[in-house]
A and B are shown apart, each in its own frame.
Chain A
């Protein structure tokens, strides 16, 4: 999707290995989000960022950490991947704004399989 890219798009890894997913934006948006999507659960918020070095937990943050050292990049790290973290991960961005409306633009997703 224009302005937001996720990498890698597909990854297969083994239990116990570290994994980092990268979200890169060229829109200079303030807010960035990581969601995971699983059948029967819809989208669940993992972590989000409201500025450089400003992050907060979402609904399902256990086992995940994030970092945002510059506006354009938001990294999601699985320190020690487990099979329960097999999922499709979506990054999203939003400008926020005085209107109070966070309209999200989503990336194409990263499919992670943990064996």
Chain B
């Protein structure tokens, strides 16, 4: 079964609003990553947060990690129509030889 489970599966907001996506996982991780996928394209890496970090920022992105709850959230502030995409969390089992397991993704639609 997949390690990362994401919530919600789909999210529709207006431009300028914030978008929050959540990811839960089952076992200990080395780090957690978020990726973005535009329709019909490959995934692009957004941000990585290590297991000893609680929060990380990159531009309009803010990621939090709660290892006690085995969960992470991705916040996109002041969203734009160009943020419309699917977002995936991925958990890193580097200690197990490099496996990276993805969640099912959240489909974000930002309406102008």
A109 engages B88 (CB within 8 Å): no
| Contact A45 B100, beta carbon cutoff 8 Å | yes
Contact B104 A45 (CB under 8 A): no
Decide: A105 and B101 in contact? CB cutoff 8 A: no
| Count of CB-CB pairs between chains A and B under 8 Å | 76
CB of B94 within 8 A of CB of A105, answer no
Interface membership of chain B positions 76-94, coded 1 if the CB is closer than 8 angstroms to chain A and 0 otherwise:
0000000000001010101
The interface residues of chain A lying within 8 Å CB-to-CB of B88 are: 42-43
* Contact stretch, chosen from B13-21, B37-45, B57-65, B66-74: B37-45
Q: Number of residues in A with C-beta < 8 Å to the partner?
A: 29
B residues less than 8 Å from A59 (CB atoms): 1-2, 101
B97 at the interface (CB under 8 A from A): yes
Instruction: Flag whether B98 is at the interface (Cβ < 8 A).
Output: yes
How far is it, in angstroms, between the C-alpha of A101 and the C-alpha of B1 when the chains are bound?
22
The interface of chain B, by Cβ under 8 A from chain A, is: 1-2, 6, 30-31, 33, 35, 40-45, 48, 50, 88, 90, 92, 94, 97-105
Cβ contacts A to B, 27 pairs, < 8 Å: A31-B98, A42-B6, A42-B104, A42-B105, A43-B43, A44-B2, A44-B102, A45-B99, A56-B97, A56-B99, A59-B101, A90-B42, A92-B42, A96-B98, A100-B30, A100-B31, A100-B92, A101-B94, A102-B92, A102-B94, A104-B90, A104-B100, A105-B45, A106-B42, A106-B44, A107-B42, A109-B40
